[in-house]
Structure 1
Amino acid sequence: MSPSERRTAYVLKMYPRFSETFVVNELLAVEAAGERVDVFSLRAPVDGRFHEQLAAVRAPVTYVRSSGLRAADVWAALAAARAELPGLAGCLDELLSADVADAVQALEVAVEVRRRGIGHVHAHFASVATTVARLAARLADVPYSFTAHAKDIFHEDVDPEDLRRKLRDAAGVVTVSDYNVAHLRRAHGPATSRLQRVYNGLDLGAFRFADPVDRRPVVAAVGRLVEKKGFDTLLDAAALLAADGVPFRVELVGTGPCEGALREQVDRLGLGDVVRLRGALPQGRVREVVQSASVFAAPCVVGADGNRDGLPTVLLEAMALGTPCVTTPVTGIPEAVRHDVTGLLVPERDAARLAAALRRLLEDGALRSRLATGARALVEEEFDVRRQAVRLRALFAGEHEAVPA
């Protein structure tokens, strides 16, 4: 099949998802590079907020049944698959051992893969999306690949044997940082022979760099309000800055399960005049908040359950826009934020060190300018989504590139 005829299925747990801008960026980039893509979403979206660039994605989206399945639905899926999937009989044992919903979704995806002439299946996250993608690819007799991120490989609920099987059976595996590559190699050895690192990329044309030398004393922070983002430490640092009389304001954008606790912390620390919780904002407004700030704070931590960020896309966006970053050396973050070169690193959960780094950047315009310039140069060199799309298309074509040991 020629590259212009090649067609790839993306299997995603939920599409679109407001917090997964990297998926939309990737879809747009691989389509711009010439890939024909079909999206299969295993869950219907539950969030009414969508990014503006979503409208530019050309891929058709199929929502696969995931709930309310009756016995009749299972038998109907098997009957439909029998006529389309010559290899069905050889996969019956695995189908019967799978979760019923996963098995039915895999059957439905596999049938569509065959009907549409799709030659490759790719999933994001090594959890349920890859479970369905792997089984669907086996049923349809096509190769599959997946991208491993963070929670799907670090969380305490990850089944090592299941992940090892997915790594071993895949035609290629992508993960988003060198840190992840090293972790997966230590944990899963020979099963990682087809593993490669491909950073999540940005469409740099959408992120205009501006020198931060003369910006107002504002600290921006963006993300889901969950433990791994470390925003409670940011508020503790803000209290230290306020106690020292430092003029500043914090703009915290996002929603999530920790919102109530964070609002209570703002009240308890007397930060109502300097910290504003902005809720969710459209992507264009988020960029305005970030680019008008003197500092971007991402005090990421490893959660009690092992959950952590991989390499937050919003951190790369801040670097591209020219907003110097203060963050922590969690997982792949130091691959982008190199201390005193492209940003500042502080230990996780250390409010005093975080406050000191924020103060340095709030008060030193020349330092802000130097770090921002270095950060933009690194993003252009390593995180351009067009370069990542070339590597992904090669992976879909079977030209995997394992990371050197």
Structure 2
Amino acid sequence: MPLPENRLPETPTRPRVGYVLTMFPRFSETFVLTELLALEARGLELRVLSLRSPDDGRFHAALGDLRAPVTYLPHLARSPKGSAVWDALRAAHGRLPGLAAHLDDVLALPAETGAAALAVATEAVAQGLTHLHAHFADTPATVARVAARLAGITCSLTAHAKDVFHDGLDADALRANLAGVDTVVTVSDFHVDHLRALAPTAHVVRVYNGLDLDRFALHTGRRATRTVAAVGRLVPKKGFDVLLEATALLARAGDPLRVHLVGAGAEEERLRGLVATLGIADRVDLLGPLPQDRMLQVVADATLLAAPCRVAADGNRDGLPTVVLEALALGTPCVTTPVTGIPEAVADGRSGALVPEDDPVALAAALRELLDDPGLRASYAAAGRARVEEAFDTRTNVALLERHFGVAGVPA
């Protein structure tokens, strides 16, 4: 039965939270699924509002454990016809407590974004949601911010990397989202400083992405000899070309190392060409994208993990790569770079090795040192596991996150 005009459903004793996502599930965003499952384990009632349907057909097995229903809104979020926008306004009229006060916010948006905000707000009221949370500070945050105002509920967002570090970003839109939600959650102290500088009035807090440590037991079995794992999308910010150059340096010096590279992306053809040009086809296995369980087995079996992240030419960079945390949890020593939040997980010379970005010589030297020294690897493995248990346990971190659901901190 339709709700009476300007009346919200009864508020539950705990927040009923709608997650606003561009696409769910997305194969590369395991951190979102991990977070949702951990919140459900705490007894939180969740809904997922996805602006697009999944487009690649690949899913992680843990998705089957999620209880939250998913509502897809692709008919409004992608190039809507005028009639669809009009239908969204008609559906919202009389149902959204904040429509009259915040209609200007809707009209200021591109048509597809405004239509999505109306649809999300209407779903929020219909489903009795008390709070919206968006992952990524760009379009999902814009939709959630305006939808929350229309629905008369609170809103938060999690800012990551591609949504805040990119030369092509709309800085004004980003600031509006940061300052216009009740809480900005972000994934490292580096991010906190960056976002507070962008939007001084925003309420910014750091909550690390976490891991379900019950699923990430310390790997104590045998590992392959002189094997380097690397995992991620094949894009410039991952620095996998630097890893291939470092591999070639070691191969020319007679080192029998082998590299297992997991992932897919726009750089795949270029990287395959580089493997051929460098003459290391017998040393590098390009494994393509793998389900999480198989990817983790590659990392657990490896001697070490290489994550030579860099700031790409367009400003894009990693925040704090989930695979680095997963390797630390599994006891696989890491060689990586001091980009953004990575040093908050990997302390150079204590829980791993940090080398300058875009430096294949330094990377090759660090890889060889670790490959040659089992005692150093054992030391890094123990310290890395301890660091993950200390700061990256998802059960602890989602408890911190939940504190910001339903808390009004910024005037609408």
Superposed, 1:6-405 pairs within 5 Å as 6-64=15-73, 65=75, 66-189=77-200, 191-192=201-202, 194-211=203-220, 215-398=224-407
SS at match of 1:397: coil
- Residue identity over aligned pairs, in percent, reads 54
- Judged with a 3 Å threshold, the aligned counterparts in structure 2 of structure 1 residues 393 and 140 are, in CA distance, closer, same or farther, namely same
Which amino acid in 1 is paired with 2:311? V
* Contact 1:123 1:147 (8 Å CA) reproduced: yes
SS at match of 2:164: helix
* Contact 1:148 1:175 (8 Å CA) reproduced: yes
* Contact 1:212 1:322 (8 Å CA) reproduced: no
Distance 1:132 1:350 in 2: 40
Aligned pair count?
398
Distance 1:378 1:298 in 2: 18
Task: Please list the CA deviations of residues 185-212 of structure 1 after superposition, one character each: whole Å capped at 9, or x if unmatched.
Answer: 22322x23x1100000000010111248
CA RMSD of aligned residues (A): 1.5
Distance 2:63 2:38 in 1: 12
* Contact 2:260 2:287 (8 Å CA) reproduced: yes
Q: Which residue of 2 aligns with 1:403?
A: none
Which amino acid in 1 is paired with 2:113? D
Distance 2:221 2:135 in 1: 35
Distance 1:114 1:399 in 2: 18
* Contact 1:213 1:365 (8 Å CA) reproduced: no
Which amino acid in 2 is paired with 1:14? M
- Judged with a 3 Å threshold, the aligned counterparts in structure 2 of structure 1 residues 361 and 128 are, in CA distance, closer, same or farther, namely same
Task: Please list the CA deviations of residues 373-398 of structure 1 after superposition, one character each: whole Å capped at 9, or x if unmatched.
Answer: 00000000000000111011111031
* Contact 1:211 1:369 (8 Å CA) reproduced: no
Which amino acid in 2 is paired with 1:135? V
* Contact 1:213 1:368 (8 Å CA) reproduced: no
The answer to which of 226-235 and 169-178 deviates more is 169-178
SS at match of 2:404: helix
* Contact 2:310 2:357 (8 Å CA) reproduced: yes
The alpha carbon displacement at 1:216 in A equals 1.3
Task: Please list the CA deviations of residues 199-231 of structure 1 after superposition, one character each: whole Å capped at 9, or x if unmatched.
Answer: 000000101112488641100000000000000
* Contact 1:310 1:332 (8 Å CA) reproduced: yes
Distance 1:148 1:5 in 2: 24
The alpha carbon displacement at 1:109 in A equals 0.7
Distance 1:214 1:48 in 2: 32
* Contact 1:150 1:308 (8 Å CA) reproduced: yes
SS at match of 2:39: helix
Structure 2 unmatched ranges of 5 or more:
1-9
| TM-score normalised over the length of structure 2 | 0.94
